[in-house]
Amino acid sequence: MIEKIEARQGTITRGYRRREHVIACNVDQVLIVSAFAEPGLKLPLIDRYLISAEIGGVRPIIILNKADLVDTAPFQWVIGLYTQLGYETLVTSAASGQGITRLKELLGEGTTAFSGQSGVGKSSLLNAIQPGLALRVREVSDWTAKGKHTTTTAELIRLESGGHVVDTPGLRQFELWGVDPGEVEGHFVEFRPYIPLCKYPSCSHTHEDQCAVKDAVYWGQIHPGRYESYLKVYAQQPIEGE
């Protein structure tokens, strides 16, 4: 018998087929897992996860996986970008063991959602942390270069080293849910110092003259890739996670 329904806390959601899709709830943090290769980094997808995490009251941590497949030197700007914005960013490899010790520490307390696009190696990382899990892994499709779905349902896993993990299915598409275009600016942390400097209080930072945010992009104070992410979110454009 259900006697009481408690309010959700710590949620990660997205829009899917015009409805709210709850990826995970009652979690303390979310590990946003992306991969350097096979299928490759999708920074706009990471940005949308960051917004969803902030809205849901969840601490986001960015995991850049499959470091063994590439020379990570050309990607240092990505690591630096998100680190400077205040997000912990960890480089990992299930094959070589890089970053696994720190990953165990992060998962040691509370409940963590593991999420990201298909094929980025979430199950492989969990197997590296606790080999006895023996979670199934699959390769990336040669034809589409997209990840194949291995985890098909969310599963709560208790780790021997402490903490709980919600292993979620890989996503192909991420559309934000319940985000008003006028509120998007506040979810890009580097925009905040410049927003009060815009000429118009209702500036959308898309086309207006004397926009301090656009000026900051021009002068290299805001990364252009992050600004492009903002424009797509503002226009409510879905983004493919392939």
List the chain pLDDT tens, one digit each, 242 residues. Answer: 889 888 888 999 998 888 898 999 999 999 999 999 998 999 999 999 999 999 999 999 999 999 999 999 999 999 999 999 999 999 999 999 999 999 999 999 899 999 998 889 998 999 999 887 766 555 544 433 444 445 456 788 999 888 999 988 888 778 898 888 889 999 999 999 999 999 999 999 999 999 999 999 999 999 999 999 999 999 887 665 44
Find the domain containing 82 and state its range: 12-174
3 is a domain residue: no
Q: CA-to-CA distance for 107 and 145, rounded, in angstroms?
A: 30
Question: Phi, psi at residue 20, to the nearest 5°?
Answer: -80, 130
Structural domains of the chain, count: 2
Which pLDDT belongs to residue 144? 39
| DSSP symbol at 114 | E
Residue where the block lists tokens 């991420």: 174
Looking at residue 53, which CATH number applies to its domain? 3.40.50.300
Residues 196, 155, single domain; the answer is no
Q: Is residue 185 part of a domain?
A: yes
Q: Which two tokens stand for residue 111?
A: 């409940």
Are both 170 and 187 inside the same structural domain?
A: no
Q: Which of 122, 156, 174 is the last residue of a domain?
A: 174
43/29 Cα distance (integer angstroms)? 19
57 and 105: one domain? Answer: yes
